[in-house]
Homo-oligomer: A and B are copies of this chain.
Amino acid sequence: MSLVVCGSMAFDAIETPFGKSDKIIGGAGTYIAWCASNFTPVKQISVVGGDFPQAELDALTARGVNLEGVQIKHDEKTFFWSGRYHMDMNTRDTLDTQLNVLANFQPVVPESYQDCEFLMLGNLVPAVQLSVIEQLKNRPKLIVMDTMNFWMEVAMEDLLKVIARVDVLLVNDSEARQLSGEYSLVKAAQAIMKMGPKYLIIKKGEHGALLFHENKVFHAAALPLEEVFDPTGAGDTFAGGFIGHIARTKDISFDNMKTAIIVGSAMASYCVEKFGTARLREINAADIHARINEFVQLVNFDIRLAE
């Protein structure tokens, strides 16, 4: 039984108020793999061009990421994205997008991935996400899906088809409002859960995240940070920590999802400390444990005093 991750592997070039990166390794699938592999082995589905560094693939393999499902198109180029963050670090402009190998990506699920127990669909073309679900002979125990507003604008019909097939949907607050047409996040969550997912996670960036299920809600704080150096990949890293914890514990209860959200938040708080995946490559189990304990301190209170 295993965790299967589908997501882009890419080159990014990032500008922030703090500096400018070279062309560095990025992509939702990359962030998820670097993060989730702290908790459990990963079986990766993606596509890269001949220009993608072998050293990066080797580094992922060394961390327990199985790359059998990663297609290498030797005559093509890897997906490239370039963006510039504004001063508030919450908004950004896309400077350049070159789809390259992603333009005609047909994912192939290897036979050895058919033991998939947990499936993480990173933000990607909804048709690709759907194809992965359909290639699996047995339905995974839990399917988690990330998406973004772009697909609501250009591929809503496909998007709704995937949403109807997943257990947990991850969106940010403005995407939840756009998808549901409701301003209140409580009403938005109820509307979105009627579209299929039994669980909805609404990411609110520096304001934390909300987990909805039936009539229950859980709020996870984000750690207040002195500086956010580069927010790229924070949402993907959050997803990687969430599914990584779930896959490691093999417990899909609401209570364990709360803990998984804290783990995802802790991992995302590391991600933003350096450009790209740099910080995720440095941290170890002790770092992760220490950061999770900071989250406990952040929100822990003794309510008996109020009784």
A150: Cβ under 8 A from any B Cβ: no
User: In this complex, what residue of B is CB-closest to A224?
Assistant: B186
> Does B224 contact A221, Cβ atoms closer than 8 Å?
no
Considering the chains assembled together, what is the distance between the CA atoms of A184 and B307 in angstroms?
35
Considering the chains assembled together, what is the distance between the CA atoms of A185 and B89 in angstroms?
13
CB distance from A197 to the nearest CB of B (A): 17
Query: Which residues in B have their C-beta under 8 angstroms from that of A259?
Result: 301-303, 305-306
Q: In the complex, which residues 259-307 of chain A have their Cβ closer than 8 Å to any Cβ of chain B?
A: 259, 261-263, 289, 292-293, 295-303, 305-307
Query: Which residues in B have their C-beta under 8 angstroms from that of A256?
Result: 305
User: In this complex, what residue of B is CB-closest to A205?
Assistant: B207
A88: Cβ under 8 A from any B Cβ: yes
Query: Which residues in B have their C-beta under 8 angstroms from that of A307?
Result: 289
> Does B262 contact A187, Cβ atoms closer than 8 Å?
no
CB distance from A42 to the nearest CB of B (A): 18
Considering the chains assembled together, what is the distance between the CA atoms of A217 and B226 in angstroms?
12
Query: Which residues in B have their C-beta under 8 angstroms from that of A306?
Result: 245, 259, 262-263, 292
A111: Cβ under 8 A from any B Cβ: no
> Does A219 contact B302, Cβ atoms closer than 8 Å?
no
Q: In the complex, which residues 233-255 of chain A have their Cβ closer than 8 Å to any Cβ of chain B?
A: 245, 249, 251, 255
Which residue of B293, B299, B305 contacts A299 across the interface (Cβ within 8 Å)? B299
Considering the chains assembled together, what is the distance between the CA atoms of A107 and B293 in angstroms?
47
> Does A87 contact B183, Cβ atoms closer than 8 Å?
yes
When all copies of this chain in the complex are counted, the total is 2
Chain A window 211-231, contacts with chain B (Cβ cutoff 8 Å), 1 for yes, 0 for no: 000001111110011110000
Query: Which residues in B have their C-beta under 8 angstroms from that of A298?
Result: 217-219
Q: Which residues of A contact B (CB under 8 A)?
A: 87-88, 183-187, 204, 207-208, 210, 216-221, 224-227, 245, 249, 251, 255-256, 258-259, 261-263, 289, 292-293, 295-303, 305-307
Q: What are some 30 contacts across the A-B interface (CB < 8 A)?
A: A87-B183, A88-B183, A186-B225, A186-B226, A187-B226, A207-B207, A207-B208, A208-B219, A208-B221, A216-B297, A218-B299, A219-B221, A221-B299, A245-B305, A251-B305, A255-B301, A255-B302, A255-B305, A258-B300, A258-B301, A259-B306, A261-B301, A262-B303, A262-B306, A292-B303, A292-B306, A293-B303, A295-B303, A296-B303, A299-B299
List the 10 shortest-distance A-B pairs measured between CB atoms, nearest first: A219-B221, A207-B207, A258-B301, A259-B305, A186-B226, A186-B224, A219-B298, A259-B306, A299-B299, A296-B303
Extra contacts, 20 of them, besides A219-B221, A245-B305, A262-B301 (Cβ < 8 A), are A88-B183, A184-B227, A186-B224, A204-B207, A208-B208, A208-B219, A217-B298, A218-B299, A219-B298, A219-B299, A221-B299, A249-B305, A255-B302, A258-B302, A259-B306, A263-B306, A289-B307, A292-B303, A295-B303, A299-B299
